[in-house]
Structure 1
Amino acid sequence: MSVFASLVERLADLLQPLFLTSATAAAIVLFTAFVRLAVHPLSRAAARGQKANARLAPQVAAVREKHRNNPERQQRALMELYAKEKASPLSGCLPSLLQLPAFFLLYHLFSSTSIGGEPNALLDHRLFAAPLGERWTDALADGGVFGGAGAVYLGLFVLVAAVATFNYRRTKRQLAAAPVAPVAPGEAGTPPGMAVMTRMMPLLSFATLITVAVVPLAAALYIVTSTTWSAVERAVLYRDMPAAGALTNPL
């Protein structure tokens, strides 16, 4: 982790002339942008895969109808279809999964009181009045909702709520334009719980508000930057495919 801490510190040093005492916060935003840029080719590949899945929807429905009384045969037929068309029913998961190590590194870095046996000086770095190592509860205890640190969180909450509202409205339109066909119990080709996930998907973006409130501010900055990037990225990649972007992880 000391290598990762050095990377954050060097980015902060480069940005310090522009952002002064908020240079480390700016370094975290820049680091997040680098991570998202690195996985963007995978996001584009996932978009192509989900578009392929959309094209296969009539054939998938036909296979389900043909083998509705034989789940095992249905599963084999669906897998053969996906393999033939080089598609996957789980397209879109990989970019989100690859971001998790970066998030957990950042979370751990700003939750640790020491690095290599030395006090973790990064915990005292700030975004305006809010220390990057503290949480919203700390901001409430030090000045309240409208105090210096509390105001920083209010700004983040407003941004997250705006992005979540954008995602909510877009997802509702997508699902209304191309609703997911119901799958009978025992049928193959749909991940377990997909029906519930589809109903809950429009609300998932608002869960980010809770996450931002409970993690260290540094990790919250990663989440806010990543979710904002995701909203813009999906709006572009899935602009010609209403249904696919709706079933993608909001992070």
Structure 2
Amino acid sequence: MLEQKLHPLNFIILPLLGIVAIFSATQIIQYAIIFIIMLINFSLLCKRPQLKVLLWFNLSLIPPLLALFISSYLFASSSELSNYSLTNHTHSRLWLSTILSLRLYLLSLISVGFMLHLPQEQLILDLIQRKIIRVKIGYSFLAVFNAFAFMKQEFTRIQIAYKMRFRKKWLSPQILMPLLVAAARYAHHLSISMYTRGINQDRSYHQSIIKFGLYDSGLILLNCVILSIVIFTK
């Protein structure tokens, strides 16, 4: 499968290329092409996207986008409007507000979309293999990522238990105490596990190497070429 051959660093490199292209673009058609390119990259990297989370994120962007559109329309300076050679002053304000709002939307969506589906474990292991970060720091990051998933499961379990036993609301402050106990228990078990596995010693371990292959190089090179054409073509 293509998703297994693509390197996890693509989740960082490709959106960075898209962000640079967005800051360099000035036309709506350029933003549209960049969005399509990033959407294709996203479909290649993520076979099971979290559509529900992305939908809620899009809805949460409506208030800041409206605020940016209104503020840029009402308080745009003459120097900013001079970049858009339109005969009508109102059209220049509308064009500037649309460009800024669209830029904010694309930057937010691309950043969150790729980071939400980032394979943290594969990326951290690759950084350890390349000696970019130390083993202790890498496994500390992995422990933090696993802690988020653990606390989410514990929070759901405690909610269900409180509803069944005490008919408490799901946002009751009394839920925080057992959640704090669960966090302390997880931290205690984690410290014992890392100590027994020799994380504080110079022990060797075996891990399959994550190679940066031809698919990855070709995909990044293709993105660089297409985005460069989109940016520099007026």
Q: TM-score, normalised by structure 1?
A: 0.28
Larger radius of gyration: 2
Q: TM-score, normalised by structure 2?
A: 0.29
